[in-house]
Amino acid sequence: MGLWAMVAGVLPATVAAQPPCLAPRDVSFAPSPPRAGTLFRVHLPPSLAASVTTARLAGEPLHFRTVGDSVSAFAAVPVDSTRGLTLALLCTNGARVDVRIPTRDGEYPLERLTVAPRFSAPPDSALQARQRREAARAAEVSRASHATPRLFTEPFLVPRTTRITSGFGGGRTFNGTVTSRHMGTDYAGAVGAPVRAANRGIVRLVDGFHLGGNVIYLDHGEGLVTAYLHLSRHRVAEGDTVSRGQVIGDVGATGRVTGPHLHFIVRYGNVTVDPESVVERK
Ligand SMILES: [Zn+2]
């Protein structure tokens, strides 16, 4: 090895040539502060955006894109977030910048619900294993969605325009004990009523789940996934590309339900958010 190789190995010449990394104060949010259990936007100054190589928040990668002179990405606040979040940015010069994001409480209500007796006892181990398998398949749709390019250009729609019978985020009590949060929005509907795709996407999962009944999971790209539960009928197959507003299934009462309705889920990666923070209301 000659002298030049050694010099090239020790001189930090490449570091000086890199663009400067941005500072935490350069990053802004909308809305600010974001609320627990919602989707929000992270904005970077266009002049410094090229210095950011990766960004992660709440365990999920962010996908920045430039529209006009604005550089922004979707990000999600977990529903149980109470102490704010840290956005971890990695710059081209190798520096890591941590940006503290204060968050607002979701103020989700507590709801009492009576369910069929067969669901009030803890599920047996075989059933638990089935539920875990089904949850893992749904989680895989979310994980893989980060590698799908963004498939939509228009805002998200409500899958049904009927009234909301149960909102997102409420704690549910089964027989007096809080056991879970309601991680979706319920829309009224009779069996057979149409369910529409919230946006353009690829059908990644069509199956019958124990809790969700007949389900459809759509991958909209860049981490955004929507799911439609308790359907009486599927009208699409895995691998189909669906358009925004296309009828993909029928309202039903399959899975763990007390009556027919649509349970609608929106996820950014594996962070489930309030659909009302995503869909456009006219
Ligand atoms: Zn529901």
Task: Put the strands of the sheet holding 85-91 in their side by side order.
Answer: 60-61, 52-57, 85-91, 96-101
Separation of CA 210 and ligand 1 centre (Å)? 14
Looking at residue 171, what is its pLDDT? 86
User: Within 10 Å of residue 271's Cβ, how many Cβ atoms?
Assistant: 22
Separation of CA 10 and ligand 1 centre (Å)? 60
Residues 63 and 20 in one domain: yes
Looking at residue 177, what is its pLDDT? 65
Looking at residue 5, what is its pLDDT? 37
Residues 6+ apart with CB under 8 A from 160: 187, 188, 189, 193, 194, 195, 196, 251, 262, 264
Burial of 196 (0-12, 13-18, 19+ CB in 10 A): buried
Map tokens 């181990």 to a residue: 125
* Number of folded domains that form the chain: 2
Looking at residue 84, what is its pLDDT? 94
Which CATH number is 255's domain given? Answer: 2.70.70.10
What gap in Å lies between CA 159 and CA 233, rounded to an integer? Answer: 15
Looking at residue 240, what is its pLDDT? 98
pTM of the model: 0.87
Structural domain that includes position 29:
3-101
Separation of CA 165 and ligand 1 centre (Å)? 9
Looking at residue 4, what is its pLDDT? 37
Residues 252 and 223 in one domain: yes
Separation of CA 64 and ligand 1 centre (Å)? 31
Separation of CA 257 and ligand 1 centre (Å)? 8
Looking at residue 8, what is its pLDDT? 39
Residues 117 and 60 in one domain: no
Listed in sequence order, the DSSP H helices in 181-256 are: none
Separation of CA 261 and ligand 1 centre (Å)? 8
Question: Is 199 domain-assigned?
Answer: yes
Residues 122 and 229 in one domain: yes
CA–CA–CA angle 115, 117, 121 (5° rounding): 105
Residues 273 and 203 in one domain: yes
What gap in Å lies between CA 196 and CA 168, rounded to an integer? Answer: 19
Looking at residue 7, what is its pLDDT? 39
Residues 201 and 248 in one domain: yes
Which CATH number is 64's domain given? Answer: 2.60.40.1590
Residues of the chain with pLDDT under 50: 1-16, 117, 282
Do the bridges between strand 171-174 and strand 110-113 make them parallel or antiparallel, or are there none, so unpaired?
Answer: parallel
User: Within 10 Å of residue 50's Cβ, how many Cβ atoms?
Assistant: 14
Separation of CA 148 and ligand 1 centre (Å)? 27
